[in-house]
Amino acid sequence: MTPKPSPDASEPRRALDAASADARERDLSQHDSAALLAYHDKWQRRLSGLMRAHPERWAVPGLSAEETRDALTLRLLEAVHLPAPLRDHEEPGRPGREWGLCVMQRHLARLRRRFRLPATPLDMRDAPLPLRGPTQEERWLELEADACRASAGQRAEARLSGPQRRWLGALREAARDEQFFEASDRLNLSAASRLLHKNRSSALRAYQALSESFQRELARGSSSEGEPSEFQPASPTRRCGMSSE
């Protein structure tokens, strides 16, 4: 009884058969355009599968996967049309290895040397973005907006009634004591209402009335856009004057 060959023993034979078949297809492609197209399609499919299975092994820094695949298959077609002596010198094969695969692996090394960068690759996804300071125009616009808010606050305060002035004082006192909600940075009206021994609904009505008064003066004194739409600070650091309460 003849023992069956082991799978490992058949591997070299299959590799030799594949190398021989590839050499025949290459030689036929030199004179037959249909054979050349079939040979190109064969290696393009093969290369696409290799790049999916081993993306890092077949990657070229600076080139996309499509650009790398196109460059390798183009070199393969160029090598097919080389005269046999020149082809054997420039693009030699290896025993037991398909000639087309040898050509593309060799050209892959050339591409990597050509596109090599004198730098260490880093993952820039977690890199902090550089902070850019405000331009001179932005600083002037901010100063102008601050002046408009301050002027509107002074005009609005001059027209307040006695109760409104008391509420304004209470709101300012709460702001100076940092009585702001941490989640939204909105003024804690309950803190202001406790200073006047009132309930929160009264503080809310007073807050809305003060805000409307301020907005009227702001719209009257400035036609610029982008002003705060409420009677409250635009940021935690801007808590002074009428516009910061």
166 plus 107 within the same structural domain: no
Alpha-carbon Rg for the chain, nearest whole angstrom, is: 39
pLDDT at residue 48 in the model = 92
Contact of 130 with 187, CB cutoff 8 Å: no
Pair 24, 111 in one domain: yes
Which among 115, 137, 164 is the end of a domain?
115
- C-beta of residue 212 within 8 angstroms of C-beta of residue 230: no
Q: Domain residues for 90?
A: 15-115
Low-confidence ranges of the chain (pLDDT < 50): 1, 181-184, 224-245
- 29 and 104 housed in the same domain: yes
Q: What is the DSSP letter of 135?
A: P
Task: Calculate helix-pair angle for 99-114, 7-29, nearest 10 degrees.
Answer: 80
Q: Are residues 103 and 160 in the same domain?
A: no
Last residue of a domain, which of 61, 93, 115?
115
Among candidate residues 191, 146, 149, the one with its CA nearest the CA of residue 173: 191
Instruction: Give the amino acid at 10.
Output: S
pTM over 0.85: no
Whether 60 is covered by a domain: the verdict is yes
Measured at the CA of 67, the angle between CA 65 and CA 73, to 5 degrees, comes to 100
Which tokens belong to 14?
């299959």
Q: What are phi and psi of 180, to 5 degrees?
A: -120, 150
Angle of helix 33-53 versus helix 65-80 axis, rounded to 10: 140
Does 143 fall in a domain?
no
∠ CA(51), CA(101), CA(72), 5° rounding? 60
Residue 5 lies in a domain: no
Same domain, 40 and 109: yes
Domains: count for the chain: 2
The SS3 call for residue 108 is helix
Would 72 be classed as within a structural domain? yes
Regarding whether 230 and 162 lie in a shared domain, the answer is yes
- Please report whether residue 139 resides in a domain: no
In a domain, 132, yes or no: no
Give the up-direction half-sphere exposure of residue 242: CA atoms within 13 A in the CB hemisphere.
25
pLDDT at residue 94, rounded to an integer: 85
Residues 41 and 105 in one domain: yes
Q: What does the pLDDT read at residue 233? A: 41
Q: How many angstroms separate the CA atoms of 35 and 22, rounded?
A: 12
Q: DSSP 3-state assignment of 22?
A: helix
* Residue 26 shares a structural domain with residue 109: yes
Q: Is residue 3 part of a domain?
A: no
Residues 6+ apart with CB under 8 A from 117: 61, 62
pLDDT score for 230: 42
| Domain end point (choices 115, 139, 169) | 115
Is residue 4, in this structure, part of any structural domain at all? no
Question: Does residue 179 sit in the same domain as residue 231?
Answer: yes
Cβ-contact 90, 79 below 8 angstroms: yes
**Same domain assignment for residues 82 and 157:** no
177 and 96 in a common domain? no
237-241 contacts at long range (C-beta below 8 A, 24 or more positions apart): 239/175, 239/176, 241/149, 241/150, 241/153
Closest CA to 29 of 45, 19, 40, 21: 40
Q: What is the pLDDT of residues 160-187, one digit of tens each?
A: 888 888 888 877 777 776 655 444 456 6
On whether both 111 and 152 belong to a single domain, the answer is no
Is residue 63 classed as helix, strand or coil in its secondary structure? Answer: coil
- Confidence at residue 98, expressed as pLDDT on a 0 to 100 scale: 92
